[in-house]
Amino acid sequence: MARLKLATVWLGGCSGCHMSFLDMDDWLVDLAGLADVVYSLLVDAKEYPAGVDVCLVEGAVANEDNDRMIRTVRARTRVVVAFGDCAVTGNVTALRNPLGGPDLVIGRSYLTPADEGPKLPYSLGVVPPLLDRVRPVHHVVPVDAYLPGCPPPAAHIRAAVEALVAGRPGDIRGEMIRFG
């Protein structure tokens, strides 16, 4: 069996889904025998490569960097998996949507208490510009499989990755479809 080119991407999420990925513990050693992790915050890859077989996408699309990244991922990946509730529904990341545009969040987070003075670090471009609304991944690009959970339990991630390695993304269902 050809080795899978596996990637993981971190968009607007808390990294908890990646922590749950690491909770697969010693099965990660088995995974290393089945797949090459070609891009991830867990490895030192600078650029998302072409020809990726499977990408687990954590987080919602919340800012311009997220938007650019997910479009690159979609163009270069055969199977895109919405990984965790934020990617699937927006979840925690989308809690700002009912407040309207991003200005209130930016003001609350980055302005001084008097709403004056330096708008650091937002005005310096350290924080990518926020989009008007936070969107789940499938609202921006087509998604091939969904793995909900906040975060998805390690056992579900393992079962999903095993199905993907075997070329059966449709097997991600049943007890794995659980939110929260």
Residues that bind ligand SF4 (CB under 6 A): 13-14, 16-17, 58-59, 84-86, 91-92, 150-151
Which of 6/9 has CB closer to ligand SF4?
Answer: 9
CB of 22 to ligand SF4, least distance (A): 12
Distance between CA atoms of 144 and 138, rounded to whole angstroms?
9
Distance between CA atoms of 38 and 52, rounded to whole angstroms?
8
Which of 16/102 has CB closer to ligand SF4?
Answer: 16
Which of 5/96 has CB closer to ligand SF4?
Answer: 96
CB of 57 to ligand SF4, least distance (A): 10
CB of 72 to ligand SF4, least distance (A): 20
Give the list of residues 6+ apart from residue 85 with CB closer than 8 angstroms, or none.
91, 92, 148, 149, 150, 179, 180
Which of 39/146 has CB closer to ligand SF4?
Answer: 146
Q: 139 in helix, strand or coil?
A: helix
Q: Radius of gyration of the chain from Cα atoms?
A: 17
Give the list of residues 6+ apart from residue 51 with CB closer than 8 angstroms, or none.
5, 76
CB of 76 to ligand SF4, least distance (A): 22
Which of 5/88 has CB closer to ligand SF4?
Answer: 88
CB of 146 to ligand SF4, least distance (A): 12
Phi and psi of 163, rounded to 5°? -65, -40
Amino acid in the structure at residue 2: A
Query: CB of 149 within 8 A of CB of 81?
Result: no
